[in-house]
């Protein structure tokens, strides 16, 4: 991948300033680099003060780390965002319809458009959800769609996050930090707001309450606790929505409802925004060892006594083997061609695809079907011969556990470095709220940036950072 073939969102491919960055660039040219360096340090201090950290798993000390923040915003025009939004909304509607279908009539399988074993042998498929219709027909209340860009009009979906998408707190804090440090920038650029997200989330969750709820539904956030890597976000969102943050031991089933402990006794909950995985949600129905969930909550859920957001069993839509069928899924359930393309994907469970992947391992990105956070993946072009050989053995031992994709020329956005502005690769996670009354997409989302020069790995667990994402009013 030559540098000249990579699309830079500020400078294009030919080094000509792109329109969305014009006003920002004028401001930047008049700024003293020393002041900007001081502001970059100030931003880091602010994040440290707020306690915006995440835990890194897989290390002896599981240390808490500050996610690096870069002060150069990523800027998207209103027109670009409008086109993206249409594609995101189409995809989320299709995912929700797909989830309803696989837990009910399985029409897509009957039509021969999806192999039955993609569901029956999938560990993310939840038999307990067969025949269960969630309140309002909504499975995917909160979705994060990971997008990458390769050119002026070329966007691809990298993966769908329909289980428990995280990162929205960083989107909100990034904007808060930029507003605090550079108010003059927002006075001269018409940037669409993101700060309404917590209120929008609460409204959307309340609208998804079960029929037994009153006119003012009780919403709570279920967290696995302080040792979870995203605990900061769980606490942040509960606080911003003005609802209770609860753990499994705070809840119990009382008179056929899930209720939380309060100073006045147990109070029924109508909507539970859970950040606990399916397997740990109910020790009576799933993992009996789990101390994080609520015994009997699935029985209440199946009886229509509570809304769980996102619905149990949505994890199958995160599955990277299912992802490879998303173009067919979108077409089957919407009757339309997908507005957003998938990255071409080889399913290693298929012998021809496996042979191709093994022959081109040093050129491809290989991912675990159920993996997340950048763990368990191989980036062929940057791997050593020893790493390639070791991964080849894993791939041959369990081919159905992997998919492979080409190494894309991800777009770059400048970061503020010691040497001035330097290009770094980015992706984007827009956040989507779905309720019975419609879909709302927050303008922007979380831009994750690979801080190492030339690196394509943007995950915070792998050393990536974040940026504020601006969508301009056109």
**Per-residue CA distances from 398 to 348, 365, 370 (Å):** 9, 16, 13
pTM of the model: 0.92
Q: What is d(CA 255, CA 257) in angstroms, rounded to the nearest whole number?
A: 6
In this predicted structure, what is the pLDDT of residue 59? 42
Q: What is d(CA 66, CA 286) in angstroms, rounded to the nearest whole number?
A: 34
Q: What band does 58 get if pLDDT is binned at 50, 70 and 90?
A: very low
Q: What band does 461 get if pLDDT is binned at 50, 70 and 90?
A: low
Q: What is d(CA 205, CA 273) in angstroms, rounded to the nearest whole number?
A: 8
Report yes or no: 334 and 90 within 8 Å, Cβ to Cβ. yes
In this predicted structure, what is the pLDDT of residue 1? 44
Report yes or no: 117 and 134 within 8 Å, Cβ to Cβ. no
Report yes or no: 61 and 114 within 8 Å, Cβ to Cβ. no
CA atoms within 13 A on the CB side of 31: 19
Report yes or no: 7 and 412 within 8 Å, Cβ to Cβ. yes
Residues 6+ apart with CB under 8 A from 124: 278, 313, 315, 316, 318, 319, 370
Q: What is d(CA 103, CA 53) in angstroms, rounded to the nearest whole number?
A: 37
Question: Is the omega angle on the peptide bond into residue 310 within 30 degrees of 0, that is, cis?
Answer: yes
**Phi-psi bin for 342: left (phi > 0), alpha (psi -120 to 50), beta?**
beta
Measured CA angle at 64 (ends 62, 68), to 5 deg: 130
In this predicted structure, what is the pLDDT of residue 372? 61
Model confidence pLDDT, tens digit, residues 281-319: 999 999 888 889 999 999 999 999 999 999 999 999 988
The two three-digit tokens of residue 40, written as one number: 């970059």
Give residue limits of the domains in the chain. 344-407
Model confidence pLDDT, tens digit, residues 152-192: 999 999 999 999 899 999 999 999 999 999 999 999 999 99
Measured CA angle at 426 (ends 422, 432), to 5 deg: 145
In this predicted structure, what is the pLDDT of residue 141? 98
Given the DSSP bridges, would you call strands 251-254 and 257-262 parallel, antiparallel or unpaired?
antiparallel
Q: What is d(CA 430, CA 153) in angstroms, rounded to the nearest whole number?
A: 17
Model confidence pLDDT, tens digit, residues 426-446: 999 999 999 999 999 999 999
The two three-digit tokens of residue 468, written as one number: 């504020």
For the domain made up of 344-407, give the CATH fold: Dna Ligase; domain 1 (3.30.1490)
Q: What band does 131 get if pLDDT is binned at 50, 70 and 90?
A: very high
Percent of the chain with pLDDT over 70: 94
Given the DSSP bridges, would you call strands 244-246 and 219-222 parallel, antiparallel or unpaired?
parallel
Residues 6+ apart with CB under 8 A from 78: 192, 471, 472, 473, 474
């Amino acid at each position: 991948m030559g540098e000249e073939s990579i699309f830079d969102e500020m400078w294009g491919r030919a080094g000509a300033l792109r329109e969305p960055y014009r006003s920002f660039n004028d401001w930047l040219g008049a700024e003293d680099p020393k002041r900007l360096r001081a502001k970059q340090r100030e931003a880091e201090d602010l994040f440290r003060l707020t306690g915006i950290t995440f835990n890194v798993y897989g290390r002896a000390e599981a240390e808490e780390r500050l996610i690096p923040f870069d002060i150069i915003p990523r800027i998207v025009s209103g027109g670009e965002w409008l086109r993206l939004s249409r594609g995101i909304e189409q995809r989320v509607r299709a995912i929700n319809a797909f989830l309803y279908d696989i837990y009910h009539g399985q029409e897509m399988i009957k039509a021969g458009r999806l192999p039955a074993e993609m569901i029956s042998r999938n560990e993310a498929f939840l038999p307990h959800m067969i025949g269960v219709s969630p309140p309002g027909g909504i499975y995917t209340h909160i979705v994060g769609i990971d997008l990458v860009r390769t050119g002026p009009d070329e966007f691809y979906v990298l993966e769908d996050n329909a289980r428990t998408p995280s990162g929205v707190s960083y989107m909100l804090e990034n904007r808060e930090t930029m507003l605090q440090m550079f108010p003059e920038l927002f006075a001269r650029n018409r940037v669409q707001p993101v700060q309404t997200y917590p209120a929008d989330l609460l409204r959307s969750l309340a609208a998804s309450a079960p029929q037994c709820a009153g006119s003012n539904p009780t919403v709570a956030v279920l967290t696995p606790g302080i040792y979870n890597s995203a605990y900061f976000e769980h606490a942040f969102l509960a606080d911003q929505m003005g609802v209770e943050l609860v753990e499994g031991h705070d809840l119990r089933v009382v008179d056929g409802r899930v209720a939380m402990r309060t100073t006045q006794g147990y109070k029924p909950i109508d909507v539970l925004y859970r950040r606990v995985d399916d397997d740990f949600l109910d020790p009576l129905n799933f993992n009996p060892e789990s101390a994080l969930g609520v015994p009997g909550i699935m029985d209440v859920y199946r009886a229509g006594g509570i809304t769980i957001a996102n619905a149990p069993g949505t994890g199958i839509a995160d599955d990277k083997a299912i992802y490879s069928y998303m173009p067919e899924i979108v077409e089957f359930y919407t009757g339309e061609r997908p507005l957003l393309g998938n990255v071409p994907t080889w399913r290693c469970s298929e012998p021809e695809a496996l042979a191709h992947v093994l022959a081109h391992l040093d050129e491809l990105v290989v991912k675990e079907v159920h993996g997340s956070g950048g763990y368990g993946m191989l980036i062929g072009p940057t791997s050593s011969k020893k790493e390639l050989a070791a991964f080849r053995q894993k791939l041959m031992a369990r081919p159905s556990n992997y998919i492979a994709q080409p190494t894309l020329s991800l777009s770059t956005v400048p970061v503020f470095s010691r040497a001035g502005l330097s290009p770094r690769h980015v992706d984007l996670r827009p956040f989507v709220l779905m309720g019975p009354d419609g879909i709302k997409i927050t303008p922007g989302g979380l831009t994750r940036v690979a801080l190492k020069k030339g690196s394509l790995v943007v995950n915070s667990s792998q050393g990536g950072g974040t940026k504020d994402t601006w969508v301009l009013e056109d």
